[in-house]
Amino acid sequence: MRARGASTFLLSLLVGLAYLFLYVPIFVLIVFSFNDNPLGYYWTGFTTRWYFELIASTEIWGALKNSILIACSSVAVSISMATAFVVSARNTALERLLLLFYGNLAVPEIVLAVGLLALFYSFSVVLGMTTLIAAHSLLGLGYAVPLIYTRFESLDRRFVEASLDLGATRWQTFRLIILPLLTPALISSSLLVFIISFDDFVLSFFCAGGSTQTLPMYIFSMLRAGSSPVVSALSVSLLVGSSILILLFSSLQARKAGMLP
């Protein structure tokens, strides 16, 4: 019993240290976003002026607009392509290609970024907003296809068969039967792809060129020039926004699994 108690205490201690390692930097970031010291190295007083400077910055709003536009476009492309592929690939030879979409989860993102950059250069494609949307859509397919496929496989086929037996066309069956049943998976996939695209830096750094700047790239450029409390304020704002989206995604997943009413 004493040995079991010691092992339980040691495990709890290790888990507590792991959580401290994960969340102490975030806590420090939040605290120093209200630091009155422009250098941000030591505490001099409480202020909220960095958040007002953040709101007044036209460069940040421009980078935010680009990130939102790219993320929304990536969601639209990824979800449309994933849904079309999952529905059309069932009981065909294309179903064997589903494993290829899991490659995005296994291959390091830097490898994908270098490969896409080489592909764009080989076809003389000018880097910019279009290449960023294509890169983020490709990354999003690796998350959207497995989620939508799992939901599609769990559907009751009797609804589809009844619709076809009653004279509905395949398009009507897809629009009125399959698509509503896939809605939870589509919403969850959309939130996940949006978060991944909005926060992505590696693909943006390689595929953006010099004409397009996303918010993560802007933060990186500010950090290269030196630490600034505005960066801390911007990071805290992104943390709050991403946390809200993650909570929405988690609640949808829990509701789909029957854990929430």
Task: Please list the rounded mean pLDDT of every run of 10 residues in the chain (261 residues).
Answer: 70 86 85 78 80 85 91 94 86 74 80 90 89 92 89 82 81 85 87 88 87 85 75 84 77 63 52
Look up the CATH architecture of domain 57-256: Orthogonal Bundle (1.10)
CB-CB neighbours of 168 under 10 Å: 16
Position 80 scores a pLDDT of 93
DSSP-H helix ranges across the chain: 2-32, 49-56, 58-89, 103-106, 109-122, 129-153, 157-165, 170-173, 179-199, 202-207, 215-225, 229-256
Using alpha carbons, select from 248, 241, 254 the residue that is nearest to residue 64: 241
The whole-angstrom distance between residue 141's C-alpha and the CA centroid of its chain comes to: 11
Position 216 scores a pLDDT of 87
Position 3 scores a pLDDT of 64
Q: What is the pTM of this model?
A: 0.81
Position 209 scores a pLDDT of 79
Q: Are 136 and 71 in contact (CB under 8 A)?
A: yes
Position 192 scores a pLDDT of 87
Position 96 scores a pLDDT of 76
Q: How far is 49 from 13, CA to CA, in rounded Å? A: 39
Position 75 scores a pLDDT of 95
Position 235 scores a pLDDT of 83
Q: How far is 94 from 48, CA to CA, in rounded Å? A: 55
95, exposed or middle or buried, with CB in 10 Å at 0-12, 13-18, 19+?
middle
Position 78 scores a pLDDT of 93
Position 253 scores a pLDDT of 66
Position 257 scores a pLDDT of 61
Q: How far is 228 from 50, CA to CA, in rounded Å? A: 9
What sign results for the dihedral spanned by CA atoms 157, 249, 95, 171? positive
